[in-house]
Amino acid sequence: MTLREMIGQKLVVGFPGTELDGEFIRLVEEYKVGNIILFRHNVESEEQLAALCAELRRRIRAATGAEPFITIDQEGGVVTRLPDDTTNPPGAMAIAAAGGEENAYEMGYLTGCRLRALGVDFDLAPVMDVNSNPDNPVIGVRSYGDDPAAVARYATAMMKGLTEGGVYASLKHFPGHGDTAVDSHIGLPCIDKSLEELEQGELIPFRAGIAAGAPAVMSTHILFPQLEPGGVPATMSRAIMTDLLRGRLGFEGLVISDCMEMQAIATHYGTVNGVLAAMNAGVDLVFVSHTAALAKEAVLRAEEAVAEGKLDREEIEKSARRILEHKARCAALRPVGGEMSREECRAAVGALRQKSVTAVQLPAGGLPALGETPLFLGCPDYRSTLASSAASGDFTFAEEMCRLAGAGQALVTPKDPTDAEIEAITAKAAGHSCLVLGTYNGHILKGQLALARALAATGLPMILVALRNPYDLAELPPHVAGLAAWEYTPAMFRALWPVLCGETPPQGRLPLARLR
């Protein structure tokens, strides 16, 4: 392979639409970029996705002589990329709430089967992060909980399900993104912990996944000053990506980066500088997920760096060989037990969602009855982090629950209401038999919890439903019921309805020790 071909094997790029554009095609044909990341904006339907993946494979094979990795973030729950005509599973914390590591395996297996059938062969999941910080704006329900041992069990089961379902999996975000209040998509977090502290928490799931045969590990763009005193995040640190991950933890698979266009890298170091530093740190696959011009510049700068002795050509060659070896292994994967039918997938996912609904607090008399004139309230969906899929404006919690009830009234509220808006909303509560408020990250957008307190002060029967992180339910008055429902989707609303109307008791168990 030429130097350019080897560098191209190390890059993963994206493109903006549902069809390939000229800029992307030039990246493949002239700059030999050999791997793809797909997002929700690339996907319209299963049929379109399968055709797109087939075209990607054809073009990349012709230009590079090798199969591409076609990667996607299909975690389930709040991070899903597959279209509405497929079956998207619940997320990590919902799976843990439902209980049973076999459920994590099954969700991984059905995800792997569907991805492989559509032409995607590399899922950027599972999340191994321990969500020990309630103020974490980007992980939260993407984690299996705040107990490292439990996270290790569930996430490893998910990884096994993915690989036995026919796709590669990647443990993320090494060495841990759970204990931060900053989203690395928009800032540069810092976790000031010693190696010994990390070994007692964050590294436990990664060690378990590596021991179970993880094919890949994804880095995080977080400063760990006690591991890397040079002022660069984990992705750019040889001490972390090579000495710790490969040396101390004994990992021999693919080391991959999170996207180098995230602001933690782009703002503080520059995307292309970050790409070169990541390669020097020992990262095999480096993601430039959105901008073709940056990917092109990265190829040219990497060639210059090798010529100037700033990048080790021998390491580039070794990394490229490793990538090709893993591509061959990945291409040979197939579902070990055969593909699950759509009906089987739909039934398994629906049952698990219903089982995941969790009562964090119930009044002495149990879940309040809705009565004849319930009032359903809550803000619309919104994109709380760039890691999540884009918000849908097609439905709201309040309106969907009112439709399912066939009675009462729906009131769509602001996502962070002001005092004046709270007063006006609360005035409309009078005369209703029960108040049902859905919150979406109210522990971060405090106006939602202020509204909850104001509604609770009316003394009316009330149910608060946390539609993402259950930390919204931390401090409820005794007469208010608190339910964790994990995600803002019509599928979860349908799973929630039998619990709200009293047909089914909440069955989930909270996977967060601090809220029990």
pLDDT score of 382: 84
pLDDT score of 138: 87
Under the banding of pLDDT at 50, 70 and 90, the label for residue 98 is very high
Q: Which residues touch 472 (CB under 8 Å, ≥6 apart)?
A: 439, 441, 442, 443, 448, 449, 452, 464, 466
Q: Where is 121: in which H helix or E strand?
A: none
pLDDT score of 359: 97
Evaluate whether 465 touches 357 at the Cβ level (below 8 Å): no
- CA–CA separation, 361 and 502 (whole Å): 16
- CA–CA separation, 59 and 203 (whole Å): 39
pLDDT score of 391: 59
- CA–CA separation, 459 and 106 (whole Å): 43
Average pLDDT over residues 427-443: 96
pLDDT score of 338: 84
pLDDT score of 163: 98
Check pLDDT > 90 for residue 466: yes
Q: Which residues touch 372 (CB under 8 Å, ≥6 apart)?
A: 407, 408, 433
Q: Of 393, 445, 441, 395, whose CA–CA distance to 416 is shortest?
A: 445
Q: Which CATH superfamily is domain 168-290 in?
A: Glycoside hydrolase, family 3, N-terminal domain (3.20.20.300)
Backbone angles phi, psi at 150, to 5 degrees: -65, -40
- CA–CA separation, 13 and 28 (whole Å): 10
Under the banding of pLDDT at 50, 70 and 90, the label for residue 389 is low
Average pLDDT over residues 100-126: 97
What does the longest C-alpha to C-alpha distance in the chain come to?
A: 76
pLDDT score of 388: 58
**Which residues sit opposite 160 in a β-bridge?**
none
Average pLDDT over residues 447-461: 97
pLDDT score of 451: 98
Residue-range domain boundaries for the chain: 168-290, 357-515
Q: Where is 123: in which H helix or E strand?
A: strand 122-123
Under the banding of pLDDT at 50, 70 and 90, the label for residue 32 is very high
| pTM for the full predicted model | 0.94
Average pLDDT over residues 42-56: 97
- CA–CA separation, 451 and 472 (whole Å): 12
Average pLDDT, the chain: 95
Check pLDDT > 90 for residue 121: yes
Check pLDDT > 90 for residue 494: yes
Q: Of 5, 118, 116, 3, whose CA–CA distance to 60 is shortest?
A: 5
pLDDT score of 87: 86
Query: Could you read off the pLDDT of 242-287 as tens digits, one per residue?
Result: 999 999 999 999 999 999 999 999 999 999 999 999 999 999 999 9
Alpha helices in 215-291 (DSSP H): 238, 263-266, 271-281
Q: Which amino acid is at 403?
A: R
Catalytic residue (one of 147, 179, 183, 185): 185
Bridging pattern class, strands 216-219 and 168-174: parallel
Catalytic residue (one of 129, 179, 258, 472): 258
Q: What is the CATH number of domain 357-515?
A: 3.40.50.1700
- CA–CA separation, 191 and 211 (whole Å): 25
pLDDT score of 176: 96
pLDDT score of 55: 97
Evaluate whether 435 touches 443 at the Cβ level (below 8 Å): no
Check pLDDT > 70 for residue 393: no
Check pLDDT > 90 for residue 327: yes
CB burial string 102-127: b at 16+ within 10 A, e below: ebbbbbbbbbbbbbbebbbbbbbbbb
Check pLDDT > 70 for residue 196: yes
Query: Could you read off the pLDDT of 136-192 as tens digits, one per residue?
Result: 888 999 999 999 999 999 999 999 999 999 999 999 999 999 998 877 777 899 999
Average pLDDT over residues 339-360: 92
Length of the chain: 516
pLDDT score of 151: 98
Structure tokens at 383: 């994109």
Structure tokens at 166: 């026919």
258 belongs to the catalytic site? yes
Distances (CA, A) of 445 to 4, 396, 435: 47, 18, 20
- CA–CA separation, 240 and 103 (whole Å): 32
pLDDT score of 342: 83
Query: Could you read off the pLDDT of 378-387 as tens digits, one per residue?
Result: 999 886 655 6
Under the banding of pLDDT at 50, 70 and 90, the label for residue 217 is very high
| Residue located via tokens 């429902």 | 485
- What percentage of the chain has pLDDT greater than the value 70? 98
pLDDT score of 394: 81
381 belongs to the catalytic site? no
Q: Where is 436: in which H helix or E strand?
A: strand 435-439
